[in-house]
Structure 1
């Protein structure tokens, strides 16, 4: 019988080592135990188990467990015994030991005996070692495959991000990568303002982060990140009046040792993300930070190129390009050239700083009255301009009149402006240069005939 049992052990060893899948291996172990010890009961206590075994007698091995005998077997790596005279059964705890550590404890219960049978101890010890070695091999194999997959994810993401994507494309790609790779429900990217007080939700974040419901999560993470908490790994978040998302991972985005923003990844199920996932996320964002920074810097540079530094309106070059493009693809458009009346007197009376402030006030008024595709620009000096694509002449005149009326009320010291309005449509041959020339001539007439008025393109009609 002993000889047959050890022959069986050899077959068991071959069988356990033939699989590199943890779930399959553990299933085989319980089949073997059922064959060899049909009258015994058994449980497997596993440490750091990330698998689901609803159909197997497997429980987590917790360090705060009341079963100190099992803990001792795990820590010492030696077989432990427990006897119950009252229940008349004996328990053996055999550590599943591999070459690099102990992976769990096999609990075997022998009924109707006060002491565990001596002749079974050696066999169970060998069986546990065999199972421990097979489990170690399977886990190492799966870890290596996961490491390879993680490296491929990081490499592919870094390669894609370094292909000069724009910021929105970069963030959208990152969001999709994280949702796919981490099974995340919500992914958000946030950029701090220059004073570190406010955060802007970047395009590419999932829609949830643009809602009011997301503010509590964003503000909570923002406060933690600003306090220097570093990356955050929260298994079960519980905030007042917030119950939707429990699993949270957040990673700060740092550029040249300065906090620029952060990312948030969320799931509704508590403890959904593993710590391995958290480490992968940090690595992914670390390797992607250069591409993200480059996208931010590139867009900041582009914004500087197309924006007047004083008024924050668009530059003339940008406006020129937009008008020429509009005249090729749109049906019509209205152009308004604006000049501050007696601007030299303002500079001479109040100083150039006040003159700059007046320009800024006028620019802010223009920003308030235009919308959609409309473009406000600094034309040069005290001249500003508005272009209204796909807007008929009457609408453009009404906007110019409104601007002239509101200027004196919205500026301090109060100023007035003169406007020249020109218009084009597809029905007649026209050009960008001629569109500007007509508006410039109309503006000249407005200045020469009393100022503080609107003149339409070369027909010498005073509108206000």
Structure 2
């Protein structure tokens, strides 16, 4: 090269160097190419210049026309790998006067085509033109390296930003949205989807799909199962697809699908960045799920703790069942809640008070019988997502059913049933929580029933099922403090010893029971019938006048005489009190006892009233 040619190359390098210093231009590949062509036109005095990038998948022409030749494959085939400068016209590029190949290691990466005066180009030697090609190629390579460095810096800065964002949020939607936002910024020309392994029905417009286990997309499933990246290249569709798992420390939560257009093989540098992004996203998804799971567990533990605390506060059985029902309806969004107790032989079922009203209806029987049969055989809890009995021609009203056996000391006491009309309404986590809740509650149920049974035993006579004498005493004292009047009567079975001697004590007990049942059927629910001792019984009628009490007593005497087998009669002594006369319980009892003695001594099978020191038959 002569001095002018060397100066031209120096000027070319200087212009290229100045171009690289323009920071804004580094952000736009197309603009930097056009600027490069303007520089080449300037140093070569060419009229026009064009640059062709030889990418078999995505050829690009940068110049005045910016139109890729339709026969670019033929053009490239005609060009020799041993020659750099072409001064003769090339078929398909006849409008250009000079062609300079850009190649490395015998691979043509593109060419620069120039238009101009033949004389001016003739003044340039092949040597300087080859140097121009070499410098231009190095400029493009340096530019790409610089762009790669800047791009990597920006990407990893974004990766740091997105990692910081991931760790600052425990909301699943925020994490997924940040993944998509980052991909849109880094790869605006790519297409991408998040294939997630869990139900996803509330993520708005995000490109999210369910990862279906029976899907024909084997590459996606392979990435999910193995935890390794998978590739799917399509020559026909001119694209390459990357499947990278969203992987946390405890498992894989989905797959990130990235579709790169006009690419035969997915670029390795992109695979590295996308894999880092996917791993970061997988950890964030895992953390978000663990956080949500921990919140659910805390809520569940609070529910169990609150329930256990309330159940241990000596609630009555009905109050206990009502409280549990309310808790389940509120926490599980249930429509019907029922607690069913079984008899020892499993032949009878009892709906506990506190269950929702549906279980007291006839329509509930088909549900109860079906569930009871299953639990009785399997002794396991039932979780039914879509219930429909095959032998029932009617569509079942409630589809989602959870049934948990109530077991105490290894004995099946009953079942707790929770239902909703929509199918698959309850989650499996809800089912496990219900099992835990029922397990913690069963002891409280049993204790409430035992406590109330014990209370009934304390205030109830075992033989007659009438109240005990102590209970009667308490109620009379209470009535004399609260009511305005009351009637008390003592009842004795006449000639009871003869019944025992004639028929035996078993028949004697049966006679006492018969009289007790006649007493219970003759008085109100607010009245009190009690066993006083042996064959003596007592009745207290709070708020009842003497005349009304006398009528009840006489009717009872008549019914006992007519309805007992073997036939017996009773004698009855009555006393009465009212607010206007100062009187004690002891005096009330003493007068009734005296009246009974009088009835027994004066013929039996009658009623005697002892009131105000007067005696009536």
TM-score > 0.5, shorter chain as reference: yes
Aligned-partner Cα distance in 2 for 1:172–1:65? 47
Name the CA shift for 1:374/1:121 in 2 (closer, same or farther; >3 Å). same
Is the 2:200–2:210 Cα contact (8 Å) retained in structure 1?
no
1:23-422 to structure 2, matched below 5 A, reads: 23-49=173-199, 52-82=202-232, 91-110=241-260, 120-239=270-389, 240=392, 241=394, 243-422=396-575
Name the CA shift for 1:217/1:396 in 2 (closer, same or farther; >3 Å). farther
Aligned-partner Cα distance in 2 for 1:49–1:151? 25
Gaps of 5+ in 1: none
After the TM superposition, which of the residue ranges 79-88 and 392-401 deviates more from structure 2? 79-88
Report the RMSD for the aligned CA atoms in angstroms: 2.8
Give secondary structure in 1 for the equivalent of 2:616: coil
Aligned-partner Cα distance in 1 for 2:212–2:482? 69
Per the TM alignment, residue 43 of structure 1 is displaced from its structure 2 partner at its CA by: 3.2
1:163-222 CA distance string (max 9 Å, x none): 333333333333333333323333333333344332323233334333444333333332
Give secondary structure in 2 for the equivalent of 1:171: helix
Give secondary structure in 2 for the equivalent of 1:27: helix
The residue number in structure 1 matching 2:55 is none
Aligned-partner Cα distance in 1 for 2:440–2:345? 26
Per the TM alignment, residue 153 of structure 1 is displaced from its structure 2 partner at its CA by: 2.9
1:423-438 to structure 2, matched below 5 A, reads: 423-438=576-591
After the TM superposition, which of the residue ranges 260-269 and 36-45 deviates more from structure 2? 36-45
After the TM superposition, which of the residue ranges 320-329 and 151-160 deviates more from structure 2? 151-160
Per the TM alignment, residue 113 of structure 1 is displaced from its structure 2 partner at its CA by: 6.5
The residue number in structure 1 matching 2:158 is 8
Name the CA shift for 1:364/1:93 in 2 (closer, same or farther; >3 Å). farther
Is the 1:23–1:51 Cα contact (8 Å) retained in structure 2?
no
Name the CA shift for 1:419/1:137 in 2 (closer, same or farther; >3 Å). same
**Whose relative contact order is higher, 1 or 2, with alpha carbons under 8 Å and at least 6 apart?**
1
1:291-321 CA distance string (max 9 Å, x none): 3333222222111111111111111111111
TM-score for both structures, normalised by structure 1? 0.89
Aligned-partner Cα distance in 2 for 1:319–1:258? 36
1:258-300 CA distance string (max 9 Å, x none): 1122222222332222211222222233233333333222222
Q: Which has the larger radius of gyration?
A: 2
Name the CA shift for 1:416/1:155 in 2 (closer, same or farther; >3 Å). same
The residue number in structure 1 matching 2:66 is none
Q: How many aligned positions are there?
A: 462
Name the CA shift for 1:7/1:173 in 2 (closer, same or farther; >3 Å). same
TM-score for both structures, normalised by structure 2? 0.68
Gaps of 5+ in 2: 1-147
After the TM superposition, which of the residue ranges 102-111 and 355-364 deviates more from structure 2? 102-111
The residue number in structure 2 matching 1:442 is 595
Is the 2:379–2:405 Cα contact (8 Å) retained in structure 1?
no
Per the TM alignment, residue 97 of structure 1 is displaced from its structure 2 partner at its CA by: 0.6
Is the 1:16–1:29 Cα contact (8 Å) retained in structure 2?
no
